[in-house]
Structure formats: C-alpha cells, structure tokens
Chains A and B, each alone.
Chain A
Amino acid sequence: MKFGVVVFPGSNCDADCYHVIKHVAQQNVEYIWHKQDDVKGFDALILPGGFSYGDYLRTGAIARFSPIMPAVIEFAQRGGPVIGICNGFQILLEAGLLPGAMLRNRSLTFICDTVNLRVNRADTMFTNQYVKDQVLQIPIAHGEGNYYCDGETLKRLQDKQQIIFTYCDTEGRETAEVNPNGSVANIAGIINERGNVLGMMPHPERRSEPILGGSDGLDIFLSMIEWRQGVSMR
C-alpha cells in the first residue's frame, strides 16, 4: 500500500508520519510537496500536523488553496482514504471535506498533553483494529482544537455516527472536566458521511511505538492497511 504525506510550508509532523508508515507499519510512502497537482499512484493520503502558512488568517485557511488541494479533494470524492491530523484536520475543515470549524482553545493556551480518547466505532476503515468503546492514550498539541459546529450539524454527525473519537476519562466517560479545549460534545475526531475522510486533533503518529510511550495510535494506520487488503481481495 502506498501512502502519500502532503507537505505544506510549515508542516512539522510530516517526517513523523513518514517514519511510522515506512519503518513501523512497513508500507510504501512518499512525500507530496504542496505545489504538485496530482496524487496519481497513491492509495491513501495523510495531511500532517504543523502550522501550514504560519496559521495566518485562520488555521488551514491558506493551505486549503494550495495547488495540491484540488487533487486531494478529488481523491477524497472518489472514495480514497484521507486522514488529516491536527493541522491536517483544520485544512480538511477549511476545504469543506468535513463539516464544522476550529476555534481557539477555551483556555486560550496551547495545550501539549496526552489525553484519553474513546473509539466510538470500530467498523470504519480507520478504526477496524480497535474494539468499540476502547480507550486510547494519544497526545494532543494544539492552540486551536476547539471543534465547533451548529446544533443541526452536530445532530447530523450523531445520527450518522460520524463522531469517531471523543475526549473521555480513563473509564470512557465524556465529561466536561476531560474536554481539553472546549470542543462541542467532546469531539476529537470525525469522519465524513461516506467514511473515507477522517480528521482528528490528537496525533496517532506520536504514539505508534513502545519507545514513545505506547502504540495506541498505530492501529489507525494498520486499520487503513487492513481495509486496503480487504478491498484488493474483493
């Protein structure tokens, strides 16, 4: 399986994603510079974390109009797997591939921490290696991760089971105290209705090897590989 890691000016988790795919998951991976305009030959795309374009104007707002983005949008619309992590999630929101927007953290501070995440579905191409309601420990590092959407959108996300990861306590309870940034409904990650685009604020690539404290994040990438193998066997 061949992954592409899209690199924008200011991306800073691109090398981490590349490393995890190549050396831990042992798959093919290439960087895709944001000035390229096609994604031919790739089976999955990763929009990594960082501060694309210095977060100018709004996080992800300028990256969303990079030359590579029409190809990313087309890839997603054809059903190709796309995962946006942190700044990558913000870019997916700005591009309209996922609903909602990010606001400044409720605390107004940049938060760098490890949080508990509940896996709400284990039947997606990104989570099939988990068990439903499993609690993961994954790091977060963001200043604008306060997910916002209006009531109508939230209801649609809930009805269509698009809320994949939520901030929770060690028992999996979504309490206000463990919501690190003020996100609506403790939302940490959502997928689109079709189920092939995932955006999440936590960083699974930083939690994919025991030497970094655990491998809870690795299963997201392994899920994508498992899904791909299932598709090619059909």
Chain B
Amino acid sequence: MLQANIYVTLKKEVLDPQGEAVSRSLQVLGYQGVQEVRIGKFIQIILDSDDPEAASRQLEEMSDKLLANPVIEDFRVEIVAGE
C-alpha cells in the first residue's frame, strides 16, 4: 500500500477571490505581514501498489484527467509512505 498526497492549486495567473477574502480577513485580525493567500485542495489517496514509480505515473494521470483542471489548476503529487 502507498499513500499519496496531491496538492491542487490555482495557476499563478488565475485570480483567487477566496484567497483574497481570507487574506483581507487575516489582515483585519492584525496579521499585517500577510502579503498573499492562495487556497487550493489537498487530496489524500491510498493506493494498492508497491511500485512507487508506477504509482506515481498513475497518480499523475489521475490528477491530469480528473483531480485537477489543467486550464486553471496546477498539481503536485507526493508519495509519502508505504506500509
């Protein structure tokens, strides 16, 4: 078994109104140093596989096909642990 973490984030050039609202809210709370907030998704997948390389290829494919929308999002796959 493998555990993978997938991070889906909006591309740099895409505005993130949610991040902007949270950023303003943090500033209101007194965190004046906050320059920018970007909000994304964190997806955890447990995969029945003991081949990290094949798993990684498969996870990239899953991300490209369904988990992220390449028009607006980037993704990063990270295999964190095997059991």
Q: Is the interface of A mostly helix, strand, loop or mixed?
A: loop
Stretch from B12-20, B29-37, B47-55 at the A interface: B12-20
Question: Which B residues form the contact surface with A (CB < 8 A)?
Answer: 10, 13-15, 17-18, 21, 66-67, 69, 71-72
B17 close to A105 (CB less than 8 A): yes
Bound-complex Cα distance A103 to B66 (A): 16
The 8 A CB mask of A101-126 against B (1 = contact, 0 = none) is 10111111000000000000000000
Add 4 more A-B contacts to A148-B71, A182-B15 (CB < 8 A).
Answer: A57-B66, A100-B71, A103-B10, A105-B17
If A57-B66, A61-B66, A65-B66 touch, does A101 touch B17 (CB 8 Å cutoff)?
no
In the complex with contacts A108-B18, A108-B21, A58-B13 CB distance below 8 A = no
B71 with A101: CB separation less than 8 A:
yes
Nearest neighbor of B11 in chain A, beta-carbon distance: A150
Tell me whether A182 and B17 are in contact (CB under 8 A).
yes
Q: Work out how many contacts link A and B, with CB atoms closer than 8 A.
A: 37
A100 to B70, CA, bound (A): 10
Q: Tell me the complex Cα distance, A146–B66, Å.
A: 20
Q: How large is the interface on A (under 10, 10 to 19, 20 to 34, 35 or more residues)?
A: 20 to 34
Chain A residues at the B interface, C-beta cutoff of 8 Å:
57-58, 61-62, 65, 93-94, 99-101, 103-108, 146, 148-150, 182
Whether A103 lies near B14 (C-beta < 8 A) is: yes
Cβ contact of B72, chosen from A65, A105, A107, A148, cutoff 8 A: A148
A149 to B72, CA, bound (A): 8
Write 30 A-B pairs (CB below 8 A) sorted by A numbering.
Answer: A57-B66, A57-B67, A58-B69, A61-B66, A61-B69, A65-B66, A93-B71, A94-B69, A100-B71, A101-B69, A101-B71, A101-B72, A103-B14, A103-B15, A103-B17, A103-B72, A104-B17, A105-B17, A106-B15, A106-B17, A107-B17, A108-B17, A108-B21, A146-B17, A148-B71, A148-B72, A149-B71, A150-B13, A182-B15, A182-B17
Chain A residues near B69 (CB-CB < 8 A): 58, 61, 94, 101
Q: How far is the CA of A101 from the CA of B69 in the complex (A)?
A: 8
CB neighbours (8 Å) of A58 from chain B are 69
